[in-house]
């Protein structure tokens, strides 16, 4: 088995997939802790559907570089969702549901009406559950991904304490003069960027798993914000790495294999947590 | 020396006034208790003091004190009760106003956070997990955070809600102690009895307004009416 693995690792496309997959998993897990604790888990889900809709538009327009449409549309929706979410909880919930199913339906409609592809259901399935596109990345896409992930990491490190402040207690943060709205905006924009990146890896229906599972697993065992954040990143990177390797060796779909490994990791962590009596 | 001066202010939100003609002064070292029925505008007043909502009319101003220098103890939210954070992480976040763009906390701030914990009887709790503490201990952690933000004035929003009688009594004792050390206390409370025992001044808001010393309140018509109403509950 090791020989097969070594053989595969010799191919650049496998190395690209591993680099991109690990970076995406790292970024998603960092933001995941905040999103789960702020009760924003569904924003990830909603935004990923929006990204699917935008991708459908880009596909219909036959654009070679789909990011040009997908990224701005998702960022704008993230900002809008956050704005409505601030007023009342119910309204925010409904807005997310509305936008996400709307975008999903609209995206499929567009694709089925205008797509020139002979394999429509294959295209849709790929966009929803992660296609083989992770294995067909070009060098440019890999660099773009490295650049954006680097940006996310730098921002997260610089604003780590600010993110803690607005996650733990918005009211106190406001009273202390912290720009809570700006911080929330930053979180929303970073989330949107990560989701667009992650569409390549797991497809739009499975992105939420990448965001919430590592955070929930870490929270089962660890008890400070820093250790939860760090462990969530570690667990996410490990799962993504294992998932991609397994999918290559076993010939399973990449996205769902990674998510399955995440789920298994959560089960293990939940078991450890229960044993420790948390 | 006056710290907060409120003159003929109208408070409310979306342009709808809840309280009108409100005037009061908080001097350094006062212990002001704000009482009133639910919905009388206590939380709106609090937000106005913290400079989060402007008054609709009139003015409220600080002297020798910035709004961000008020140590605020908000009511606990559901999110916080099971939040994975160490006590030190939470207490340090009290310095967020001073931290500004600096991406980390200084050694001095960490020492000061430990000192504030010690003051509130939580020495050595830095590494403990917040969600595993008792309600009274959690509240004291949040009070230690408020102390990191200020040396001058504390604004406490229902500091004993959800605490058992013993923890509540301990909380009041700590607040009284901080007051003796010269920190101005502004407290919103349902618990009129204890408020009257410790406070120096009372602000009653609602249909009728009262501001004055505790003794004045006990002899005023509005004070007696409110107290007998509370007793019959």
| ipTM of predicted complex | 0.89
CATH of the domain at A104: 1.10.3470.10
- B96 vs A228: CB contact, 8 Å cut-off? no
Query: What does the alpha-carbon distance between residue A218 and residue A30 come to, in Å, rounded to a whole number?
Result: 11
- When scoring B44, B93, B106 by the number of chain A Cβ atoms within 10 A, the one with the most, hence best to mutate, is B93
In a domain, A140, yes or no: yes
Is residue B156 located within the same domain as residue B233?
A: yes
The pLDDT value recorded for residue A133 is: 64
Q: Which residues contact B95 (CB under 8 A, 6 or more apart)?
A: B105, B109, B112, B113, B148, B149
Number of folded domains in chain B? Answer: 2
The A-side interface with B (CB below 8 A) comprises 37-39, 157-162, 164-165, 168-169, 171-178, 219, 222-226, 228
- A37 vs B83: CB contact, 8 Å cut-off? yes
In a domain, A196, yes or no: yes
Question: Which domain covers residue A136, as residue numbers?
Answer: 2-272
In a domain, A278, yes or no: no
Using pLDDT thresholds of 50, 70 and 90, give the confidence band for residue B77.
confident
Using pLDDT thresholds of 50, 70 and 90, give the confidence band for residue B145.
very high
For residue A158, give the chain B residue with the closest CA. B103
In a domain, A150, yes or no: yes
In a domain, B116, yes or no: yes
The pLDDT value recorded for residue A91 is: 57
Q: Considering the entire predicted model, what is its pTM?
A: 0.88
The pLDDT tens digits for A93-135 are 777 788 888 988 988 888 888 766 667 777 777 777 776 667 7
Q: Which residues contact A26 (CB under 8 A, 6 or more apart)?
A: A149, A153, A233, A236, A237
Is residue B147 located within the same domain as residue B160?
A: no
Query: What does the alpha-carbon distance between residue A185 and residue A170 come to, in Å, rounded to a whole number?
Result: 14
Q: Where is the domain boundary, B122, B151, B180?
A: B151
**Mean pLDDT, range B14-18, rounded to an integer:** 82
Is pLDDT above 70 for B233? no
Which residues are bridge partners to A158 per DSSP? none
In a domain, B52, yes or no: yes
**Minimal Cβ distance to B85: which of A158, A162, A224:** A224
* Helix (H/G/I), strand (E/B), else coil: A40: coil
Do the bridges between strand B201-204 and strand B31-35 make them parallel or antiparallel, or are there none, so unpaired?
parallel
Contact A30, A229 (CB under 8 A): yes
Query: What does the alpha-carbon distance between residue B39 and residue B205 come to, in Å, rounded to a whole number?
Result: 10
The pLDDT value recorded for residue A153 is: 92
Using pLDDT thresholds of 50, 70 and 90, give the confidence band for residue B17.
confident
Is residue B162 located within the same domain as residue B56?
A: yes
Is residue B171 located within the same domain as residue B98?
A: no
Using pLDDT thresholds of 50, 70 and 90, give the confidence band for residue B112.
very high
For residue A164, give the chain B residue with the closest CA. B93
- A159 vs B103: CB contact, 8 Å cut-off? yes
Q: Cα B112 vs. chain centroid, distance in angstroms?
A: 21
A-to-B residue pairs, Cβ atoms closer than 8 angstroms: 83
The pLDDT value recorded for residue B44 is: 86
In a domain, B70, yes or no: no
Residue A36 C-alpha, separation from nearest chain B C-alpha, in angstroms: 10
Query: Which has the minimum average pLDDT: B55-59, B97-101, B111-115?
Result: B97-101
In a domain, A16, yes or no: yes
For residue A176, give the chain B residue with the closest CA. B68
Is pLDDT above 90 for B155? yes
Number of folded domains in chain A? Answer: 1
Q: What are the chain B neighbours of A223 within 8 Å (beta carbons)?
A: 84, 86, 129, 131-132
- For chain B, give the DSSP string: -EEEEEEEEEEEETTEEEEEEEEEEEETT-EEEEE--TTSSHHHHHHHHTTSS--SEEEEEESS--GGGEEEEPPPPHHHHT---BHHHHHHGGGHHHHTT-SS--HHHHHHHHHHHHHTT-TT-TTSBGGGS-HHHHHHHHHHHHHHH-SSEEEEESTTTT--HHHHHHHHHHHHHHHHTT-EEEEE-S-HHHHHHH-SEEEE-SSS-EEEEHHHHHHSHHHHHHHHHHHT-
Q: Cα B133 vs. chain centroid, distance in angstroms?
A: 21
The pLDDT value recorded for residue B81 is: 82
Q: Which residues contact A264 (CB under 8 A, 6 or more apart)?
A: none
The pLDDT value recorded for residue A201 is: 72
What six digits make up the tokens of A37?
A: 């604790």
Is residue B88 located within the same domain as residue B197?
A: no
**Minimal Cβ distance to A157: which of B77, B89, B103:** B103
Q: Cα B110 vs. chain centroid, distance in angstroms?
A: 23
The pLDDT value recorded for residue B189 is: 85
The pLDDT value recorded for residue B208 is: 83
Question: Which domain covers residue B120, as residue numbers?
Answer: 76-151
Is pLDDT above 80 for B191? no
Using pLDDT thresholds of 50, 70 and 90, give the confidence band for residue B93.
very high
In a domain, B81, yes or no: yes
In a domain, A98, yes or no: yes
Contact B231, B63 (CB under 8 A): no
Is residue B164 located within the same domain as residue B233?
A: yes
Query: What does the alpha-carbon distance between residue A44 and residue A184 come to, in Å, rounded to a whole number?
Result: 14
- A174 vs B50: CB contact, 8 Å cut-off? yes
In a domain, A277, yes or no: no
CATH of the domain at B224: 3.40.50.300
Is residue B143 located within the same domain as residue B124?
A: yes
Q: Which residues contact A258 (CB under 8 A, 6 or more apart)?
A: A21, A25, A201, A202, A210, A239, A240, A243, A244, A247
Is residue B136 located within the same domain as residue B197?
A: no
Is pLDDT above 90 for B101? no
What six digits make up the tokens of B188?
A: 């919103």
The B-side interface with A (CB below 8 A) comprises 50, 52, 67-68, 70, 72, 74, 77, 79-80, 83-86, 89-90, 93-94, 96-97, 99, 103-105, 127, 129, 131-132, 145-146, 149, 155
Residue A178 C-alpha, separation from nearest chain B C-alpha, in angstroms: 7
**Minimal Cβ distance to B93: which of A165, A171, A226:** A165
Q: Where is the domain boundary, B121, B136, B151?
A: B151
Q: Where is the domain boundary, B87, B116, B151?
A: B151
Segments of chain A with pLDDT less than 70: 83-92, 115-118, 131-133, 200, 278
């Amino acid at each position: 088995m090791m020989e097969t693995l070594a053989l595969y690792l010799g191919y650049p496309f496998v190395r690209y997939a591993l680099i991109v997959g690990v970076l995406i998993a790292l970024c998603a897990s960092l933001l995941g802790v905040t999103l789960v604790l702020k009760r924003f888990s569904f924003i990830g889900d909603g935004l990923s559907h929006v990204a699917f809709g935008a991708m459908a538009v880009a596909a219909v327009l036959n654009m070679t570089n789909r990011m040009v449409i997908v990224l701005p549309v998702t960022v704008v929706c993230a900002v809008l969702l956050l704005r409505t979410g601030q007023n009342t909880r119910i309204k925010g919930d409904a807005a997310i549901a509305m936008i996400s199913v709307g975008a999903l339906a609209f995206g499929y409609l567009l694709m089925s009406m205008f797509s020139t592809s002979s394999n429509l259901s294959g295209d849709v399935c790929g966009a929803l559950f992660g296609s083989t596109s992770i294995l067909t990345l070009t060098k440019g896409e890999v660099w773009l991904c490295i650049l954006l992930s680097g940006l996310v990491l730098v921002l997260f490190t610089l604003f780590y304490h600010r993110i803690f402040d607005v996650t733990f207690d918005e009211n106190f943060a406001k009273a202390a003069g912290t720009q809570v709205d700006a911080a929330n905006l930053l979180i929303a924009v970073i989330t949107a960027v990560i989701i667009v990146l992650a569409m390549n890896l797991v497809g739009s229906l499975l992105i939420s798993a990448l965001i919430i599972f590592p955070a929930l697993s870490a929270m089962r065992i660890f008890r400070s914000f820093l250790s939860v954040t760090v462990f969530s990143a570690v667990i996410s990177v490990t799962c993504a790495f294992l998932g991609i390797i397994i999918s290559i060796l076993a010939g399973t779909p990449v996205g769902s294999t990674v998510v399955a490994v995440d789920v298994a990791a959560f089960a293990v962590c939940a078991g450890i947590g229960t044993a420790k009596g948390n | 020396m006056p710290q907060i001066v409120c003159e003929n202010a109208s408070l409310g939100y979306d342009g709808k006034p809840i309280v009108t003609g409100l005037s009061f002064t908080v001097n350094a070292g006062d212990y002001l208790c704000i009482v009133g029925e639910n919905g009388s505008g206590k939380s709106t007043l609090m937000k106005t003091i913290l400079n989060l909502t402007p008054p609709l009319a009139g003015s409220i101003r600080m002297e020798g004190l910035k709004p961000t220098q008020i140590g605020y103890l908000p009511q606990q939210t559901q999110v916080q009760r099971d939040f994975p954070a160490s006590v030190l992480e939470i207490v340090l976040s009290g310095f967020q106003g001073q931290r500004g763009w600096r991406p980390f906390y200084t050694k001095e701030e960490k020492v000061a956070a430990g000192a504030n914990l010690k003051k509130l009887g939580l020495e050595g709790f830095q590494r403990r997990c917040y969600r595993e503490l008792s309600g009274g201990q959690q509240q004291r952690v949040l009070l230690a955070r408020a102390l990191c933000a200020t040396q001058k004035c504390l604004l406490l929003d229902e500091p004993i809600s959800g605490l058992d009688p013993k923890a509540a009594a301990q909380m009041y004792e700590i607040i009284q102690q901080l007051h003796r050390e010269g920190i101005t206390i502004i407290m919103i409370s349902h618990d009129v009895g204890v408020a009257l025992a410790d406070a120096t001044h009372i602000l009653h808001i609602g249909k009728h307004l009262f501001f004055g010393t505790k003794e004045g309140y006990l002899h005023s018509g509005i004070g007696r009416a409110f107290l007998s109403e509370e007793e019959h509950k």
